[in-house]
Every structure is written in structure tokens, then in C-alpha cells.
Amino acid sequence: MFLAIAQYTIAEGNETAVLVHVAELESASRTEPGCLAFDAYVKVGSDRRLVLIERYRSEADFGLHRETEHFARLVLGQIVPLLEQRSVESWVLPD
């Protein structure tokens, strides 16, 4: 199993827009064949901090996710321009 953890700091004033786009991203990503789970969480006490927990069957499936139309349109086109900071970490289940 492959896990991606994306952490976002939303630029002030863009909170609502980012959450709308992330909700659409969650919905679209969950339909991908290799996606096991895709959930977004807002940090308690800070509506500008967001974490996406994404589970895929494999790293290759995650790679396919990053090639989808919805990833390009929503993440790269809509969400990233509204962020102050973004980081993505990758994890795998040990053998």
C-alpha cells in the first residue's frame, strides 16, 4: 500500500475556495481504480491548515492519479495558486 500525505497552508482569504476545490478532488479521486481512500482534514484551531491523506494500492497507482485530468485541473490549476505552502510526503507499508 502507498500513502501520500499532502499538507497545505492556504493563503489568507482563500479558505472557502480551496475547500470547495478539495471536495471536488476528493470525490473524483475516490473513483480512480487504484484509490483506496482519499480524505481531507482541517487542522483544529486553524482553518488555513489542511492535510490530505491519500491511500493507493501502489506507487504506480498514485502516479496515475497525478496524471488525471482532475489532478491537473484542480490541484495544479485551482488549489496550488491559492496556497502559501504545500508539501507532499510518500509512505509505503513495510514488507
Query: Where do the H-state alpha helices sit in the chain?
Result: 15-29, 59-65, 69-70
The pLDDT of residue 64 is 97
Sign of the dihedral defined by the CA atoms of residues 23, 25, 28, 33, in that order: negative
Residue ranges, the chain, pLDDT below 50: none
